[in-house]
A and B are shown apart, each in its own frame.
Chain A
Amino acid sequence: MIEALIRRDLRRAFSGGAWLPIVFFLLVAILIPFAIGPDAQLLARVGPGVLWVAALTAALLPIERLVEPDRADGVLDQLFLHGVADELTAVAKIIAHWLSFGPLLIAAALPAAILFGLDSAALWRVLVSLAVGTLGLAALAVMIAAATAGLPRAGSLAGLLLFPLAIPLLIFASAYGGGGGAGALLLEGAISLGLVALAPFAAGAAIRAART
């Protein structure tokens, strides 16, 4: 059932909005050099941090379609009735969401990094920081999607929740991307893993609470 749920969520993501966050990420990355001007050194210096801010804003877009449609349509109830614990539903949704978000975003970071004139070492660090950090971002997105499902103005509320909670991730991810040592990457990995470990329980509890 879990495997079927992951495949279903992936199918829905790729036939629906999976491309939107990626296009959004690229658009933000294109806008920044226009705003900052053609100072190659400055662009290369702010590049990793700016790409991470772009990744964060892109992570906000899919939140509304992650949990709420399934809550409103009774899919979450039916999964529970088929013996799938709400926590397990959340795990499946995190996996499916990362698969439809992480690899595409990492691929889109390549052309974006070129816009900022990052050298190959900096590019590699940004890609690694995205690979590690998008796991935590996907977990956070599902957690927030579950917590805001069914609420009025859930989209804006999700932004208010996502950005502050993502700050630790942002700090260490852009520190590593901007030339910080392996310690920054380890801390980013620890935060990402912490989010992945916490999210199924928080999202499961939120799904249950939304039923009452």
Chain B
Amino acid sequence: MSALLRFEGVALMRGGRLLFEQLDLALEPGSALHIGGPNGSGKSSLLRLAAGLLHAEQGRVEADPAALADDHVALDRELPLDRALAFWARSRGNGAMTAMGLEALQEVPVRILSSGQLKRASIARVIASEARLWLLDEPLNGLDRDGAERLEAVITEHRASGGGVLAASHVSLPGAWQRLELGR
């Protein structure tokens, strides 16, 4: 099987500053890569490159269609959570909400959810998108212990079914990850 994501000699500039250059990476189906590094080292920008939202200054980026969970929740605030998620879901059913422990919040409007609940909701949005490549930006931010355990479980399941995960985080993530440090 071919890689879900491949960077070849990639350089990225943001605001006139070189964040990284000559970056190579490949993400095979079933694997998970943790991008580490200090604040401002370009972790989130790397995810946005992989998503196709930014373009590399140099080098080549090849990526499967991806699902991204960053700090923009992209759920309509006035809608109940299940309807807001349904807008993005490729398939019917509440499997994604159940997996993230959101069943009890189905009818709750998005605008009154806490930041941890919103993080769970944006991970549920990624699951429901059915993309093989997951891009998670600081996935543990705001999650409690239960949320972190559920995240680990859905990532394990996604990898077992041939998906790949690229996560940017400055803290260590539960489970088995390859690591790539930026800003060294």
- A residues with CB within 8 A of B: 4, 8, 12, 15, 72-75, 77-78, 80-83, 211-212
Contacts and interface: CB of A to CB of B under 8 A. Distances in A.
B73 A81 contact: no
B74 interface: yes
Contacts of A75: 72, 74
Contacts of B65: 81, 83
A73 to B, nearest CB: 6
Contact of A15 (B52, B73, B74, B78): B78
Nearest to B70: A74
Interface in B66-90: 66-68, 70, 72-76, 78, 87-88
Contacts of B117: none
B87 A81 contact: no
A4 B76 CA distance: 13
A4 B129 CA distance: 15
Interface residues of B, number: 22
A72 B53 contact: no
Interface in B15-68: 48, 51-55, 65-68
In order of increasing CB-CB distance, the 3 nearest A-B pairs are A74-B72, A74-B74, A78-B74
B87 A8 contact: yes
B174 to A, nearest CB: 25
Contacts of A78: 68, 74, 88, 125
25 contacts: A4-B87, A8-B76, A12-B76, A15-B78, A72-B72, A73-B73, A74-B72, A74-B73, A74-B74, A75-B74, A77-B51, A77-B68, A77-B72, A78-B74, A78-B88, A81-B51, A81-B52, A81-B53, A81-B65, A81-B66, A81-B68, A82-B88, A211-B48, A211-B53, A212-B55
Contacts of A74: 70, 72-74
Contacts of B52: 80-81
A73 B118 CA distance: 12
Contacts of B76: 8, 12
B53 A80 contact: yes
B54 A77 contact: no
Interface string B123-144: 0010001010000000000000
Nearest to A71: B72
Given A8-B76, A74-B72, 20 more contacts: A12-B78, A15-B78, A72-B72, A73-B72, A73-B74, A73-B75, A75-B72, A77-B53, A77-B72, A77-B74, A78-B88, A81-B66, A81-B68, A81-B131, A83-B65, A211-B48, A211-B53, A211-B54, A212-B54, A212-B55
Q: Could you say which of B52, B55, B72 has the most chain A C-beta atoms within 10 Å of its C-beta?
A: B72
